Amino acid sequence: MTPRTARPLRIAVAGAGMAAARLAQQTLAQAPPGTVRITLYGQEPRAPYNRTLLTGVLAGRYAPADLALPTGTAAVHRATDVVAFDPAARTLRTSTGATAPYDVLVLATGAEPVLPAGLHPHGTPGTGRDVPLRGVHTLRTLEDCARLGEDARHAGRAVVVGGGVLGVGTALALAARGLPVHLLHRAPHLMEHHLDAGAAATVRRGLEAAGVRVRTGHAVTALHGGQRVTGAELADGSRHDADLAVLACGVRPRTALARTAGLTVRSGVVVDDRLATSAPGVYAIGDCAEHRGTVHGRAEAAWEQADVLAARLSGARPQARYRGSFALLRLSAGALDVAALGDCTGEHGPDTDSVRLADATRGTYKKLVLRGSELLGALLVGDLTPLGDLTDACERGEPVPPDPLHLLMTEGASL
């Protein structure tokens, strides 16, 4: 931590996304008036917003203004990226050429879409397609959302490549706009990092009921087209015609800024329990940060990291530490509701048991993973009524009743 001086503590934040906004709002709310000055530098031409709702904007459930996030009295420099910083001199340089001093620098640079070779919308030299291909999109920003929405107005058929959370949400949003949609996923079932096969099958039925055709178990190897995309080819040689393609193939931490400055970087920018990097006075939070070998990549974890760092920088709790985040995933897209908490997809030993309750007619699937009376994880599809009680049980380590099945009933039950 940088010692307080007579002037305000100058906190510069590289990034103006969800983690940065939360950090600014919480730090300014807790710090004594006039003791901190926070400046956010954002690559996008907008103030911070909630990007987890982008598919809701695409589907027409939200207006872009609905996504705005508070930042207190922080200064926000839009369309101004931090392109370099000097940890020794404690200065930074922006994409406009300006330089600025700081006392504390927080890296909140987020993540960027993974674009597999052969599927890149701007072409990939050496693959036979080295020119831009219109109609191919990613969905990471409101600008992406606006371009995709405009293109969807004139499209006849869409493919979404990737069956993770973003891919499922995007496919449903495009279907809600009236487009025929194919969702193509390389793994044997959808959302394989979060769901078991039973939950994924329930999600698939929900997608198909919404008009989305699903194909799993085959990777997309190429996009076809001259000036505009005309289809996607799978590893088995089959082809799906489309004049609109969305790549939802995952994201990777944006670490180039930290790496260039000489910070320790593995999958993400390595931080300790203080959220401190290997450089004095430099911290990292959100999708770019790696803590105890894990890049969480979830909004809830980014906010928890921001809260810890805000408590430290504001002086409210200088000894605050980040110990990791509880695994909780939520997806609400139209009529499809999904929650995954704790560990439900990993390998479990002989001392664990599972309880399942499925109703194909109602489109619901519920599962608990238990070790004795300890709840290790839960999956809910279609009915999230028990989510509050189950989250409390997982987070607090509260024992479940001898017959835990009633926890999955629609009426719920208190622990």
| pLDDT per position as a tens digit, 130-164 | 557 999 999 999 999 999 999 999 999 999 999 99
Overall number of domains in the chain = 3
**Are 131 and 228 in the same domain?**
yes
Check residue 412 and give its pLDDT: 40
Residues 309 and 317: their CA atoms lie apart, in Å, by 9
- Residue 130 is encoded by which pair of tokens? 């080295």
- Residue 275 is encoded by which pair of tokens? 């959220």
**Are 70 and 108 in the same domain?**
yes
Give the mean model confidence (pLDDT) for residues 335-359: 86
**Are 195 and 259 in the same domain?**
no
CA 179, chain centre distance (Å): 25
**Are 91 and 121 in the same domain?**
no
**Are 27 and 77 in the same domain?**
yes
Residues 84 and 69: their CA atoms lie apart, in Å, by 26
Q: What are phi and psi of 202, to 5 degrees?
A: -65, -40
- Asked whether residue 174 is assigned to any structural domain, the reply reads yes
Expressed as residue numbers, the domain containing 141 is 115-249
Residues 370 and 354: their CA atoms lie apart, in Å, by 6
Q: In sequence order, which residues have a C-beta less than 8 Å from that of residue 327 and are 6 or more positions away? A: 340, 341, 342, 343, 377
Residues 279 and 261: their CA atoms lie apart, in Å, by 9
Domain end: 297, 314, 331, which one?
A: 314
CA 84, chain centre distance (Å): 25
pLDDT for residue 122 is more than 80: no
Check residue 413 and give its pLDDT: 38
**Are 203 and 256 in the same domain?**
no
Closest listed residue to residue 225, CA positions, set 108, 133, 161, 315 = 133
- Asked whether residue 332 is assigned to any structural domain, the reply reads no
Give the mean model confidence (pLDDT) for residues 117-122: 76
Q: 202-211, 305-314, 368-377: which has the minimum mean pLDDT?
A: 368-377
**Are 103 and 123 in the same domain?**
no
pLDDT for residue 355 is more than 50: yes
Domain end: 249, 273, 290, which one?
A: 249
Q: What are phi and psi of 272, to 5 degrees?
A: -100, -165
- Asked whether residue 337 is assigned to any structural domain, the reply reads no
What percent of the chain shows pLDDT beyond 70? 94
Residues 177 and 167: their CA atoms lie apart, in Å, by 16
Check residue 125 and give its pLDDT: 47
Structure letter (DSSP) for residue 355: E
Q: What are phi and psi of 286, to 5 degrees?
A: 85, -155
**Are 107 and 130 in the same domain?**
no
Residue range 233-257, pLDDT digits in tens: 999 999 999 999 999 999 999 999 9
pLDDT tier for residue 392 given thresholds of 50, 70 and 90: confident
**Residue 128 or residue 238, greater confidence:** 238
> What are 155's strand-pairing partners?
none
Domain end: 249, 268, 296, which one?
A: 249
Residues 259 and 295: their CA atoms lie apart, in Å, by 16
- Asked whether residue 333 is assigned to any structural domain, the reply reads no
**Are 121 and 237 in the same domain?**
yes
CATH code of the domain covering residue 290: 3.50.50.60
AA identity, residue 341: L
Q: In sequence order, which residues have a C-beta less than 8 Å from that of residue 372 and are 6 or more positions away? A: 351
